[in-house]
Amino acid sequence: MTNTGMNMRGKITFYEEKNFQGRSYECMNDCSDMTSNLSRCQSCRVESGCFMVYDRSNYMGNQCFMKKGEYSDYMSMMGMRDCIKSCRMIPMHRGQYRMKIYEKENFGGQSHEMMEDCDNVMDRYRMNECQSCNVMDGHWLMYEQPQFRGKMMYMRPGEYRNFMDMGMSGQRFMSMRRITDSCN
């Protein structure tokens, strides 16, 4: 995977306590295990860029999209039950967005290619669920409920044969959105 045409700048600072208190850890790229830097993380400040934060190490578990701003008590604001354990910087994408979604695992069942946001796969494509996908261009967020609600999962270019391999067992996705935020 190349980063051609992508802005790779970003900075997020994590704090052990709510309201930006306690020890802090500054991150400017991906971090697969925050526990070696902080024993817990309950607030953060995104100074530039966009990030996905995860409640398990190695980019697994519940995910939350964070863009420039202050998150003084992210656990209550984001509905996460556990501390941030890993984070991934989302590069800015310039160009088209393309993703092919599949109703079943391993690219099975009904499929549709998307280039725009979809607020409800059932209404638009008559698909009961989406269990695998191939992201050809751009970066996307997939949501468990229509109208971009519920748990989310970050998808960067690549093939995703089974969402359970990403720590999302039993998860089905009903809406998808392109990450078009200016992540500066």
pLDDT digits (tens, 9 = 90+) for 20-69: 999 999 999 999 999 888 888 888 999 999 999 998 899 988 889 999 99
pLDDT (0 to 100) of residue 83: 80
- 161: helix, coil or strand? coil
Which residue positions in the chain have pLDDT lower than 50?
Answer: 1-7
Question: What span, in angstroms and rounded, lies between the C-alpha atoms of 56 and 70?
Answer: 22
Q: Which residues partner with 64 through β-bridges?
A: 53
Give the chain's largest Cα–Cα span. 50
Distances (CA, A) of 139 to 21, 74, 91, 109: 32, 23, 8, 23
Residue 90: which of 72, 66, 60, 118 has the closest Cα? 66
- What percent of the chain has pLDDT above 70? 87
Neighbour-count burial for 79-96, b at 16+ CB within 10 Å, e otherwise: ebeebbbbbbbbbbbeee
pLDDT (0 to 100) of residue 126: 93
Please name each of the domains of the chain with its CATH number.
11-90 (2.60.20.10), 98-178 (2.60.20.10)
Question: Residue 177's CB: how many other CB atoms inside 10 A?
Answer: 17
Residue 176: which of 105, 116, 124 has the closest Cα? 116
DSSP string for residues in 115-156: SS-BS-HHHHH--S-B-EEEEEES-EEEEEETTTEEEEEEE-
Type of residue found at 98: R
Residue showing tokens 């468990």: 144
pLDDT (0 to 100) of residue 169: 63
